[in-house]
């Protein structure tokens, strides 16, 4: 009996949130619900090209005790629904967040984890849950930590310069290859994204 071959590769674009989908205003106490005006259109066009759209975001405000994990998830869902309402279509296939921080004030969330970027666990979880081929996928982020997370699982990486792209890597105990700190492409904002994703 012949094994069944996959007729189609499931590919995704993983988007960091703060600094990519919305301005990063350094609000460490809450979740920003603003987003750049062009986001619904660009994400919708990516969806039309056959990509799963997945948000992957570090949210240490939980570890710092400013918001509960349930409240965070509720706000991220609200953010998702606002973008989809503006875009007049379902856009997101998944939302993954890391609530941890090594110096968190809430003991439960004070840890060096594998999900906090530059760790890649959020991408691996999404790949397993949505049957995504990471080698045919992209990660769009504004920080070196995003690039490391994407490169480590063989995604093509795109540095988006609307956030903290000029800042050094966040502190981490994760060991990684120096080449993972470089992106395949760089864009000034998401409006240029469609030139690079195929």
In a domain, 174, yes or no: yes
In a domain, 6, yes or no: no
* Of 159, 160, 158, the residue nearest 198 (C-alpha): 158
Q: Which residue has the tokens 């890391």?
A: 98
For the chain, how many structural domains are there in total?
A: 1
Range of the domain at 128: 11-195
Phi and psi at residue 39, in whole multiples of 5°?
A: -60, -50
In a domain, 129, yes or no: yes
Average pLDDT for 6-16 = 86
Contact present, 48 and 95 (Cβ < 8 Å): no
Decide if pLDDT at 10 tops 50: yes
Q: What is the DSSP string of 105-124?
A: SSGGGBS--SSSTTS-HHHH
Torsion angle, alpha carbons of 182, 183, 186, 190, to 10: -130
CATH number, residue 161: 3.40.50.1000
Instruction: Give the neighbor-by-neighbor strand order of the sheet with 138-141.
Output: 94-98, 51-58, 11-15, 138-141, 156-160, 185-187
Q: Which residues are catalytic?
A: 16, 18
Average pLDDT for 11-32 = 90
In a domain, 5, yes or no: no
In a domain, 65, yes or no: yes
In a domain, 104, yes or no: yes
Q: 100-119, pLDDT tens digit by residue?
A: 999 999 999 999 999 999 99
Decide if pLDDT at 176 tops 70: yes
In a domain, 3, yes or no: no
**Residue 69 pLDDT:** 97
Q: Which residues, including other chains, have CB under 8 Å from residue 58's CB and lie 6 or more apart?
A: 97, 98, 116, 117, 145
Q: 155-164, pLDDT tens digit by residue?
A: 999 999 998 7
Average pLDDT for 170-198 = 89
């Amino acid at each position: 009996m012949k094994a069944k071959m996959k007729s189609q590769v499931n590919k995704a674009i993983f988007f960091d949130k703060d600094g990519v989908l919305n301005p990063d205003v350094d609000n460490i106490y809450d979740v920003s619900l603003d987003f750049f005006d062009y986001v619904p259109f660009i994400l919708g066009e990516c969806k039309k090209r056959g990509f799963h759209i997945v948000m992957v975001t570090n949210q240490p405000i939980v570890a710092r005790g400013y918001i509960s994990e349930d409240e965070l998830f509720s706000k991220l869902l609200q953010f998702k629904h606002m973008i989809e309402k503006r875009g007049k279509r379902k856009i997101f296939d998944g939302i993954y967040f890391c609530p941890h921080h090594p110096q968190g004030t809430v003991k439960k969330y004070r840890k060096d984890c594998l999900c906090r970027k530059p760790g890649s666990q959020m991408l691996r979880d999404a790949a397993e849950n949505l049957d995504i081929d990471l080698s045919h996928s992209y990660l769009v982020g504004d920080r070196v930590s995003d690039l490391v997370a994407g490169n480590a699982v063989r995604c093509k990486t795109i540095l988006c310069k609307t956030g903290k792209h000029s800042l050094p890597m966040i502190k981490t105990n994760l060991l990684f290859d120096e080449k993972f700190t470089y992106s395949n492409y760089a864009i000034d904002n998401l409006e240029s994204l469609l030139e690079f994703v195929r």
